Amino acid sequence: MATMKRLALCVVLLWFANPSMAGGVGGDPGNSQDPVPEKTEETRQPEQEAPLLDSILSQMDASYQKLQSYRAEFEQESETTTFKRKRQASGRVYFLKPSEMRWDYLQPEEREVYLSGERIQIYLPGRNQVIEQTLTDAMPGVAPARLFMGVEELVGSFSVSADCAAEDVENAYCLRLTPKKNKAISVEEILLWVGKKDFLPLRTESRDVLGNRTTISFLKGETNIPLKEELFQFQVPPGVEVISNTF
């Protein structure tokens, strides 16, 4: 399993097989060439999608190569199938290349989330607690966080296609990410919308194996702004309970 130091948008191009040949069935015995079946909508769509997908991923990688830092506001909505209810949250997110991230939740409950290396720290000031865990792909929310890390390594963890609609996200491309192996990944599917101009994430919608959905929209994004490393370094305050375990 790739470590967080090699965090990347783990996607692979979804290859489409060429239409199968008819193998001479119904062909002219005097013609050495096998007849080619007429292209249907199902065969035309993959041929049209592959160049578009290749172009989107290439532009995303080019954008990531230029990216050094990122800051944005975010709005999050989580819908659970068990309780049939939706919960909203909002705050700010920060990214510093190559793999430092910080999520500041401001509403409805303040909390700070730090992702660095192979560790995640969650500070809950209202509960006077810090949760420290080893970061794994099985943790909810890790997959969306990876989307900021570029497309440098296509390691085959996800299949990606451009078969989802842009819906209400303006000036965006939509990609569908599906884990190729679900053994240690709780995410069933991720929809990712990237801007047509900067190819940075505008919105993500993830669905886990239980059908729970989490949507995150990124607003007022700023790139390559000065961010101090201290912003991503968390020191446990005195008297705060530390809960450490591996997810």
Residue carrying structure tokens 């970061």: 135
Nearest to 194 by CA among 215, 166, 168, 220: 166
Taking the C-alpha atoms of residue 233 and residue 154, their distance in angstroms, rounded to an integer, is: 29
pLDDT score, position 182: 55
| Residue 86 within a domain | yes
**pLDDT single digits (tens) 166-181:** 667 888 999 888 877 6
Confidence of residue 12 (pLDDT cuts 50, 70, 90): very low
Distances (CA, A) of 187 to 82, 140, 209, 231: 17, 7, 6, 29
| Residue 135 within a domain | yes
Taking the C-alpha atoms of residue 164 and residue 203, their distance in angstroms, rounded to an integer, is: 13
| Residue 35 within a domain | no
pLDDT score, position 146: 64
- Using only C-alpha atoms, the chain has a radius of gyration, in whole angstroms, of 22
| Residue 66 within a domain | yes
* 20: exposed, middle or buried (Cβ count in 10 Å: 0-12, 13-18, 19+): exposed
CB of 69 closer than 8 Å to CB of 224: yes
| Residue 25 within a domain | no
* 103: exposed, middle or buried (Cβ count in 10 Å: 0-12, 13-18, 19+): buried
> What's the mean pLDDT in 56-83?
91
Task: Tell me the HSE value of 236 on the side-chain side, using a 13 A CA sphere.
Answer: 15
| Residue 139 within a domain | yes
Amino acid 66 reads K
pTM of the model: 0.74
Listed in sequence order, the residues at least 6 apart from 129 whose beta carbon sits closer than 8 Å to its beta carbon are 123, 240, 241, 242, 243
pLDDT score, position 52: 87
Look up residue 81 and give its two tokens: 């199938």
Q: Which domain holds residue 170?
A: 8-15+40-246
Q: How many domains does the chain have?
A: 1
| Residue 26 within a domain | no
* 136: exposed, middle or buried (Cβ count in 10 Å: 0-12, 13-18, 19+): middle
| Residue 29 within a domain | no
Give the residue, 196 or 27, on which the prediction is more confident.
196
CATH code of the domain in which 46 resides: 2.50.20.10
Check pLDDT > 90 for residue 64.
no
End-to-end CA distance of the chain: 15
Check pLDDT > 60 for residue 140.
no
